[in-house]
Structure 1
Amino acid sequence: MIALAEALGWPYETRQLSWNVLNHLPNPVIGAHAFTLDRDAATLQPPWPDLVIAASRRAAPVARWIKARSGNRTRLVHLLHTQMNPRYFDLVVTSAQFRVPTAPNVLRTTLPLNVVEPATREAAACAWRPRLSHLPGPWIGVLVGGTSSSHRFDATTARALAERANAMAQATGGSLLVTTSRRTPCEAADVLAAGLTVPHYFHAWRADDPDNPYPAFLALCARFLVTGDSASLPAEAAATGAPVTLFEWPSIRPPRSLPAMVKPIHRALVYNGWYKPRRDFAAFHAGLRDAGLVDTESPATPPDDMARVVSAVRALFERDRPMDSAAAICQSTGHSS
């Protein structure tokens, strides 16, 4: 959200939101109300902004509440998914894994908007390059996700990843720069580290680590091997323009096909927010392949999705009136669903 506000170049304020137990109600039940907020509604007062940028399920009713209080003057730009009918929003910005239904006001991006900025990558690279200079090049980044609702990253998977990474390094005569992440199980991380037989640097993820080499690896590596259990790791690797190989393994909850007679009902439930489908990372990865960003030795130039979104947001105001006050950004405390 902040990245989009910065790209727009308009003045903005942020609001950190927290929630009470009523936030677990379905969004179609909550509607355009703020009773799900935990003592935060008092911080949302006039004058109402021209634009609210919010993200994910819980912020959607609050954004609609602000729009109603403004006399429908406020424009709503919602990121990720709304879990309610998209017609209530001026623009919904999403990507394939969220399975948001198609609508005239839904804009799909190839990559997320919040990838690590080039300046951040380069600054980290300056600090880490001397610390890694003993390792032969080319450097291959191994970006490791972990267990999720759709994938289990266990010891067997970790061994297979180590074998794949070793083979890539042996083929080039280079080294591996490996980093785990918040979702990587400790046992699997240990198995992965023990299975590496080529020159490497292994970083085990730690919370609030001031010395996390992840942004440096994005800048320093000539290519990447990335686990396919998420959207963020493949997207951030692809955004560098380097070759990216996806390491995929079977999902523990593969998508099920629905009988033809049930599909219209399912679509209606999803479209109106009564049912939230599981994320479809396979669809997201297929989009990366179709764009020529992964699993190719000559990757295409990463698309400027931010420019597309900025243009679409500006168009909301060019149609009716100029921008004349600050944008507001609703941010959730804790995990957003």
Structure 2
Amino acid sequence: MARVTPCGADAAPVWVLLGARHGDNQQLLAIADALGVPYRTVPLRFRVAAGLPPILLGASRLSWRSKDTAALQPPWPRVVLAAGRRSVPAARWIRRQSGERTRLVHVNRPWAPLSWFDLIVTTPQYALPEQANVLMHRLPFMQPQQPIDVPLPLALQPYAARMPRPWTLVMVGGNSRPFVFDKEAAVGLAHLVNAQVRTHGGSAWVLGSPRTPATAMEVLAGSLDVPSHVVRWGEGENPYAALRQRAQRIIVTTDSASMLTEALLTGRPVVPFALPRQPDWRWSLATAWRVAATRRPTSMVARSFDILQGLGLLSSLRDLALLHRALEAAGAFDGSGRVLDMARQEREITLARIHALIARY
């Protein structure tokens, strides 16, 4: 790690804009750590105006502030790393203060004109168009598991002693538009866990998450008929890191790209469980528009989609099915371990592109 404090006297060539989404922040920090250069974190707080499209806010400070105003002083960074629509005005404001010299790197999708950014690092679920400044990878940027042993929490060690090996880790997500984890999905997941344990032997550890509905978790627990132990979110110390190291295979629900990536980066066989969809009208409209534009790229529908997307007024809402298909086509779920090589190569490409921007300042 090469972080400097927000008010440090040393110039940091990279600034990381931290927002409200934990997953976005973790991905930004993983990139910054891997760059191997000093960087500064700038936590952002958002005002009501942050709900407006970035194209209307421009490079203003109307929609955001930083709790550490002393951090927003020269020397300005060579590169800003940011994620999420609400961070876009802050990144552009910093670039304006630098005399337009600061390069902007955005992770995932910006909901803003793509031409504003020097590099956009994204994955298939956002369905961004192919452009020179869009770097499309199959996995989010995450570092692989560290070899440091993480012990199981003491409270779970008596259960572990009675759990036959090999262990199957079941990572349970929850409701995340358009996915829902309801009672029917809980029964289906239990059937998959039962079948996997019967086929491969051993037992299952079932871990909930902050988004896992309590009622669905109870149905899941009651539908398991193989040796298992269920850990609900908030029950004592979280055993997630320890079990990721010790499980021989993983079952993961398909509502979270980061959770799926963490499972794949263990290098062990991963079985995805598709949650049912209950899309709202907005998701259905945007997705249908994108699909129609893809099928007829020269049509008025496609041209209108491209124009509005170019202005940042329209974006394909997250469709994790696109990510799953890309990973399946790449053989990510076959347990061969080649997904680790794929992830490493993608990380190296991302870092090389950002280092090139740093050098161009």
Structure 1 match to 2:133: 105
Structure 1 CA distance, aligned partners of 2:130 and 2:79?
23
Cα deviation 1:127-167 (Å, max 9, x = unaligned): 57955232111111111111121111111110111011011
Is the helix fraction higher in 1 or 2?
A: 2
Structure 1 CA distance, aligned partners of 2:118 and 2:135?
11
Q: List runs of 5+ in structure 2 lacking aligned partners.
A: 1-27, 294-298
Cα deviation 1:210-231 (Å, max 9, x = unaligned): 7111122221111111111221
Q: Say which of 210, 213, 232 aligns to 1:204.
A: 232
Structure 2 match to 1:59: 87
Whether 1:273 and 2:312 are equivalent positions in the alignment is yes
Q: Say which of 158, 161, 169 aligns to 1:133.
A: 161
Whether 1:310 and 2:336 are equivalent positions in the alignment is no
Q: Which amino acid aligns with 1:146?
A: G
Q: Which amino acid aligns with 1:280?
A: D
The Cα shift of 1:297 comes to 4.6
The Cα shift of 1:101 comes to 2.5
Contact 2:194–2:226 under 8 Å retained in 1: yes
Q: Which amino acid aligns with 1:270?
A: Q
The Cα shift of 1:8 comes to 0.8
Cα deviation 1:173-231 (Å, max 9, x = unaligned): 2110111111111100111111111111211112xx77111122221111111111221
Q: Secondary structure at the match of 1:288?
A: helix
Contact 1:53–1:78 under 8 Å retained in 2: yes
The Cα shift of 1:122 comes to 4.2
Q: List runs of 5+ in structure 1 lacking aligned partners.
A: 322-337
Moved more, 166-175 or 297-306: 297-306
Cα-Cα RMSD: 2.1
The Cα shift of 1:272 comes to 2.0
Q: Which amino acid aligns with 1:6?
A: D
> Which structure exhibits the higher relative contact order, with contacts defined as CA atoms closer than 8 Å and separated by 6 or more residues?
1
Percent of aligned positions that are identical: 36
The Cα shift of 1:11 comes to 0.9
The Cα shift of 1:39 comes to 6.0
The Cα shift of 1:71 comes to 0.6
Structure 2 match to 1:264: 303
Whether 1:7 and 2:46 are equivalent positions in the alignment is no
Q: Say which of 19, 27, 34 aligns to 2:54.
A: 27
Task: Tell me the TM-score normalized by structure 2.
Answer: 0.81
Q: Which amino acid aligns with 1:191?
A: V
Moved more, 185-194 or 307-316: 307-316
Alignment coverage as a number of residue pairs: 315
Q: Secondary structure at the match of 1:118?
A: coil
1:238–1:85: structure 2 CA closer, same or farther, 3 Å change rule? same
Contact 1:17–1:37 under 8 Å retained in 2: yes
Task: Tell me the TM-score normalized by structure 1.
Answer: 0.87
Contact 2:174–2:181 under 8 Å retained in 1: yes
Q: Which amino acid aligns with 1:284?
A: L
Q: Secondary structure at the match of 2:174?
A: coil
Contact 1:181–1:204 under 8 Å retained in 2: yes
Q: Say which of 199, 206, 210 aligns to 1:182.
A: 210
Whether 1:228 and 2:254 are equivalent positions in the alignment is yes
Whether 1:168 and 2:206 are equivalent positions in the alignment is no
Contact 2:152–2:243 under 8 Å retained in 1: no
